[in-house]
Amino acid sequence: MIPWPIALLAAVYAVLATAAASSVWRIVTGASQQSLLWAAAWLGFSVATMCGLALVKSWARALAVWGFGALALLTLALAGHLIGTGRPLGALITALMAGLHVLAIRYLRRPVVKALFQAH
């Protein structure tokens, strides 16, 4: 049985995979003109991380740390954009969301969590 925080992180990646799948679908049907490469790559990354976290694989912990790091950087860039456009409240809320990504990284780097992933 996996601990509930790991299950919650896997659920976060399930939501990200669903959003990426929706983006791929819009691109394939012609409703969006975005790059299929990036959407498909994020879909594959999210699905692999979600399944790996649920199976408590050590490589999935590393993928989750990298993914949350990328999401934190992207969220902070969005907060900077919101500041530049004169929406400080939205920027504050967005920056707090980046803090949640950093919190997930800190959790995944705890020695107890690392040991859990090494045992499987």
Residues 84-114 have pLDDT tens digits of 999 999 999 999 999 999 999 999 999 999 9
**Distance (Å, whole) CA 23 – CA 6:** 26
Q: How far is CA 12 from CA 26, 31, 32, 58, in A?
A: 21, 26, 24, 18
Token pair for residue 30? Answer: 């012609």
**Residue 20 above 80 pLDDT?**
yes
**Distance (Å, whole) CA 28 – CA 69:** 28
pTM: 0.88
Residue 114 is predicted with a pLDDT of 94
Q: Which residues contact 28 (CB under 8 A, 6 or more apart)?
A: 36
Residue 16 is predicted with a pLDDT of 96
Per residue in 43-95, pLDDT tens?
999 999 999 999 999 999 999 999 999 999 999 999 999 999 999 999 999 99
Q: Which of 69, 64, 59 has its CA nearest to residue 118?
A: 59
